[in-house]
Structure formats: C-alpha cells, structure tokens
Amino acid sequence: MNMANQQTNGISKTVKQLKNAVGGDVGGIFNKLKTSGISEQFQSWIGKGENKPVTAEQITEALGNEHIAKIADQTGVAPGQAAQDLARKLPSLVDKMTPDGQLPDKFARSDASVGVRARSDASVL
C-alpha cells in the first residue's frame, strides 16, 4: 500500500470513529469542534498557515467524556490514549479535509468517510 493510500485509510478510519462516537456527519463534527473551547485551534487547521496544537484535555472537553469513551471502545485503548491520539491526528486531518479553507460538500454527506483523499503533500497521520 502506498503512502497516499495509507493516509486516506487513516483519515477514513478516524472520520468513521468520530462519526460513530459523536453521531451525525462530518459537518456536524466540525461544527462541534468549531464552537467548542478549541475554536481558535480549529480555525488554524482549516486555514493555510501552521496548525495550532491541541491537548488531549481540550479534545475531551470539546467532544465530551462520553464520546471519547466510545472512540476508546472502538479502538481498544484507554480513554486518555484515545484523546491523545485525537489531539495528535485532528489538526492534520481537518487540514487535509479542508484544502481550500472550507469543508467541501462531499464531506457534509453522511457517507463522508468514503472517498476521503489526502492532499499529495500531506504527511502521515
């Protein structure tokens, strides 16, 4: 499997986990992140500049303990580890899903985890 396919699979898997835990489509998940305590970081992930980091605690606060616990169950890790993994992956994931600085229409549909394509200049999640 080449690097682009690995990136696509990683993005698709993370999106699917978020959708299963939080419910709704990617647009709804993005809205939850954007309107939470990490809105400044979230906006940097969409923009063209550097992605601001986020902590596991901030992710847990933004998504809620219940959703983090669901993701932890899906991935077979402790909730703290799930939050750390999301804190590490989300900035890059959102950046790759919004190459033009906005959520593409295809990600607002309920089948958003299908056909996610990483930009060719993307680094591994």
- Residue 3: pLDDT above 50? no
Backbone φ/ψ region at 23: left (φ over 0), alpha (ψ -120 to 50), beta:
left
Indicate the average pLDDT of the chain: 77
Q: Are 22 and 28 in contact (CB under 8 A)?
A: yes
**Token pair for 29:** 């998940």
Please give the residue that has the higher pLDDT: either 93 or 9. 93
pLDDT digits (tens, 9 = 90+) for 12-71: 777 788 887 777 777 788 888 888 889 999 989 988 889 999 999 999 999 999 999 999
Indicate yes or no: pTM above 0.75.
no
CB 44 within 8 A of CB 51: yes
What is the number of alpha carbons within 13 Å of residue 120 lying toward its C-beta? 0
How confident is residue 106, by pLDDT bands cut at 50, 70 and 90? low
Summarised one tens digit per residue, pLDDT across range 66-92 is 999 999 998 899 999 999 999 999 999
C-alpha to C-alpha distance for 95 and 16, rounded to whole angstroms: 17
Length of the chain as a residue count: 125
What topology does CATH give the domain 25-97? Arc Repressor Mutant, subunit A (1.10.10)
Distance in Å from the first CA to the final CA of the chain: 15
Quick check: 119 pLDDT over 90? no
